[in-house]
Amino acid sequence: MIANRLEALGIVLPSASEPAAKYANYVIVNGLCFVSGKGPAGHPKGKLGQEFTTEEGYHFARQTGIEILAVLESALGSLDNVKRVVKIQGFVNADPLFEEHHKVLNGCSDLMLEVFGDKGSHARSVLGAVSVRDNLPIIIDSIFEVD
């Protein structure tokens, strides 16, 4: 059970965060759950390569992954209903000279592998952004195959 794995990892899921504007937190279509863009808990503000280091960005991406898991649990009733992590896409709010976007997004990717094992292996892309909503350091959207 995924709940046991979360407990072993010391992860307590928060309540699912609400959308920041007029959109759905998630949409399920044809066995795929699309989770809208989420940011890290506490809403830190700033850019990677300016206010934040790569290591801090990794932590923010991991926190964001936990936010995503909370939305999934709310949507599905149990994370055991996740068949596979399909895609993770990160938007890193970064200084134009920042080059470690991939290392930042590893925070979320590593979490998905820890929680779901082989089912956590996924396709992904990461982009540098000139700005993102609320000046968050990262926004991540995701796609999951679900029962």
Q: What is the pLDDT of residues 63-115, one digit of tens each?
A: 999 999 999 999 999 999 999 999 999 999 999 999 999 999 999 999 999 99
Give residue 23's pLDDT.
94
For residue 58, what are the domain limits?
2-146
**SS3 (DSSP) at 94:** strand
- pLDDT, position 90: 98
Is 147 a residue whose pLDDT tops 90? yes
**pLDDT for the residue numbered 20:** 82
Those residues whose C-beta lies under 8 Å from the C-beta of residue 8, and which sit 6 or more positions away, are: none
- The backbone torsions φ and ψ at residue 126, rounded to the nearest 5 degrees and listed phi first, read -140, 135
Buried b (16+ CB within 10 A) or exposed e, 114-142: bbbeebbebebebebbeebeeebbbbbbb
The pLDDT assigned to 19 comes to: 87
Structure confidence at residue 18 (pLDDT): 87
The predicted structure's pLDDT at residue 124: 98
Question: Which CATH number goes with the domain that contains 118?
Answer: 3.30.1330.40
Number of domains the chain contains? 1
Instruction: Report the pLDDT averaged over residues 2-7.
Output: 96
pLDDT tens for 114-134 read 999 999 999 999 999 999 999
pLDDT in tens, 39-62: 999 999 999 999 999 999 999 999
